Structure 1
């Protein structure tokens, strides 16, 4: 029908336009668009061009095409493309410094393996290679045992190491040393080195380790000049904190005292005595005896009290300056005679009388003096060689 010719013509035009939109303008238009993009941006390489040419050409062609007339139906638009952002670097894959092994080791783990230990000083102890540590409660002698462990970064590698306080019993006392342990890359326990040990020679040596701590990458050790044992009282010991650091090869002391010096609590007493004079025997063969002893304080510290020992072996106390001796007050550890003290630089004498049995006093009687403080603690002497004297017997 002739009135339909214009409608048929319009449908034909629409189909042509729609075909161009779907199929694209062809390779020529794509090449023109690519040339424009090359002029506008820096080339990114042959591989990038290959990946982006087709979608860029299609999008550019659709953008450059003339706007169509009003269609009867709108076709679905083709997919659009935009360049992907540059991938962010993967932190887990970026090169970095190797992580140091974790050297935190428990006491149970240390005792479960054979260890190589540094040598002990001045004491006989078991082999130092392939040693299995005993528990602290052991009573075995000459065998290393584990006392305690402490943790901290002591070699500045960013990881934790283990500090072990080790002991080796010698009777009632123990030699001790502090040893640092770490792990290697395979997780095996290795000996980093010895921090310090007891029984080193010289004035800086110490006999005991009381505590171990780590602070600021340094090892702090509380040491004592005496290890209380075998009836030695704990209050005799002097204590110091000494600091040690790792220099890349070994531990060396970096802070704290290095010597002990003279103990300011002690003094120097010396004893002298006249003869033990024995009187004639009575009807039962007993005799009276008398001796005078003198104590000189050659030190710079007052001796608040002095005690006399060994005199009880002469005979039964029977007057004289025995009356100046303090009462034992029920204490079993009280000395035979605890009496007045001797100020620094002064000298004092005591005369003791005895009732001596027929058998003796014998030829090996003596007198020994000991310094006591006001709280009844007794102290060693700075020069103990002159604290005792043998008594010469007359009669």
Structure 2
């Protein structure tokens, strides 16, 4: 054993120096790597120590057996750890423009549609009132421009306007379409948009006739996306005066996928320009030289709150006028109506007036005698005729006496 001890100590010393050099590593570069990979290094150090402890008996045993081959570790005491890629450097920040819209943030199609484009396209329309004929279609419609040619959907002469109605950042289009039925037009205010393929599609109906209105007179869009619609309670046609309708402006907005009224009146009340005339009558028929004389006395009561500046009697042409209030009749009005009517000064609100008309009639009734009817009508100081709040009591009848 004495001959082996010097050589054994020499080999242990050489082995210890070699292991220490490999485990610690030379210089500051190894230290920086160790700091950068501290977790892996600690694990490796533990493993290396275990290897040394395992190998030491093996080497010692070989030395005692006279093996002169320098000991070589079975594994490196500094195993190469998996390379960890350096963090990707953050590029210098640069000013960015508006974010490119993607997904749900994609810019909506622009729904600004011209009048010419509406007329050139085929469009779908909201439903019409049930009163319109079947030719007033709603699917794949080519809008017409002349209502007198056919009973088909048409684009009215009211202006086509644009605004952002649904809050998507682009504009939509509002137009008034109509379809004739009888002497009147069914009308509806329709908002149009474009789909993702650029096709014109209805966004929704704002309002239509029969939705508490009888006529649509105009549409104005606001910058806030509201639709102001001027509506009326009557659609003039035939001989209806154009000044009869009551007008209102009602405001609508697109909410919850449809248009709802958000401002203005919701219904029409009684027309404050109208009054309530009530007509009653007495008559007397007597024989006179050369025939008979008919005397009619009308009593007109103004039960309303509006003064009737003038009133007109109609149906008086039953004989030849003689005396009474014939002299008070407006001659121009009588001549214009072939003397079948009489326009006379009227009745203030809450008061009554009597009017007497005497005329010569045939001497006998004959087998063809018929019942005659007389009417009273309200006129204002500008000679404009007005409706009555209750027209049923504006009429009286004369039995068939001639």
So what's the TM-score if we normalise by structure 2? 0.71
Alpha-carbon contact 1:210-1:224 (below 8 Å) kept: yes
Cα offset, 1:198, TM superposition: 0.8
Instruction: Evaluate the alpha carbon distance shift between residue 337 and residue 93 of structure 1 in structure 2; reply closer, same or farther with a 3 A threshold.
Output: closer
Paired residue for 2:249? 241
Which deviates the most, 206-215 or 107-116? 107-116
Q: 2:374 aligns with which of 344, 367, 377?
A: 367
Cα deviation, residue 86, structure 1: 2.0
CA contact (8 A) 1:278 1:393 kept: no
State the alpha-carbon separation in 2 of the partners of residues 193 and 159 from structure 1: 16
Deviations 1:38-87 (A, max 9, x none): 99xxxx964979xxxxxxxxxxxxxxxxxxxxxxxxxxxxxxxxxx9726
Residues 195 and 359 of structure 1, relative CA distance in 2, 3 Å threshold: farther
Alignment match of 2:166 (pick from 151, 155, 166): 155
Which residue in the other structure is 2:192 paired with? 181
Verify: 1:88 aligned to 2:98, yes or no. no
Structure 1 residues 128 and 333, CA, compared in 2 at 3 Å: closer, same or farther? farther
Q: 1:271 aligns with which of 269, 275, 279?
A: 279
Larger-Rg structure: 2
Match status 1:131 vs 2:163: no
Q: CA deviation at 1:232?
A: 0.9
Q: Offset of 1:301 from its aligned partner?
A: 1.5
Contact residue 371 and residue 400 of structure 2 kept, 8 A: no
CA contact (8 A) 1:368 1:389 kept: yes
Q: Supply the distance in 2 between the matched residues of 1:304 and 1:160 (Cα, whole angstroms).
A: 51
* Residue in 1 that maps onto 2:237: 229
Counterpart position of 2:151: 142
Q: CA-to-partner distance for each residue in 1:178-216, whole Å, 9 max, x for gaps?
A: 01110011101111110000123xxxx111111101111
Pick from 293, 300, 314: which aligns with 1:295?
Answer: 300
Q: What SS does the corresponding residue of 2:381 show, helix, strand or coil? A: coil
| 3-state SS, counterpart of residue 111 of structure 1 | helix
1:161 and 1:180 in contact (8 A); partners too: yes
**Offset at 1:355?**
2.4
**Does the 8 A contact of 2:221 with 2:228 survive in 1?**
yes
- Contact 1:141 1:170 (C-alpha < 8 Å) held by counterparts: no
Cα 1:172–1:368 change in 2 (3 A) is same
Unaligned runs of 5+ in 1: 1-30, 50-83
Q: Give the whole-Å Cα distance in 2 for the aligned partners of 1:292 and 1:214.
A: 56
For 2:322, the equivalent position in structure 1 comes to: 318
Change (3 A) 1:309 1:330: closer
Query: Which deviates more, 109-118 or 161-170?
Result: 109-118
Q: Does the alignment pair 1:99 with 2:129?
A: no
Aligned residues: 315
The 8 Å contact of residues 137 and 153 in structure 2, kept in 1 or not, is answered as no
Work out whether residues 162 and 180 of structure 1, in 8 Å CA contact, stay in contact via their aligned partners in 2. yes
User: Could you tell me how far apart the structure 2 residues matched to 1:162 and 1:292 are?
Assistant: 61
Superposition deviation, residue 130 in structure 1: 1.8
Q: CA RMSD in A?
A: 3.0
Deviation string 1:10-37 (CA, Å, 9 cap, x unpaired) is: xxxxxxxxxxxxxxxxxxxxx99xx9xx
For residues 364 and 248 of structure 2, the distance between their equivalents in structure 1, rounded to whole angstroms, comes to 52
TM-score between the two structures when normalised by the length of structure 1:
0.72
